[in-house]
Amino acid sequence: MADSKSNKNDKPVVQKPNKIQKWWNETVGELRKVTWPTKEEALKMTKIVTIVVLATAVFLGVVDFVFSRLVGLLLG
């Protein structure tokens, strides 16, 4: 008795990956191409970013304070 599921040509059925599987496989492939920083490089860059953020915050704080005083003098 012949198997009802087999094709005449007996070719294996290849299933296409769905969109999520395709996205995942492409994402993993791209992440393997990334050159990840060493721990020392990551710490150095983190320190630089922290210093820049703090300097910007201080600068904006001073500018805000000065403009608040100027507006207070003009309106008061």
First to last CA, the chain: 101
Q: Is the pLDDT of residue 70 over 90?
A: yes
Place of tokens 């012949």: 2
pTM: 0.57
Note the pLDDT tens digit of each residue in 8-66. 667 777 777 789 999 999 999 999 999 999 999 999 999 999 999 999 999 999 999 99
Show the CA angle centred on residue 29, arms to residues 26 and 32, nearest 5°.
Answer: 150
**Distances from the Cα of 69 to the Cαs of 19, 57, 58, 61, 66, in angstroms?**
58, 18, 17, 12, 5
Say how far residue 15 (Cα) sits from the centre of its chain.
Answer: 31
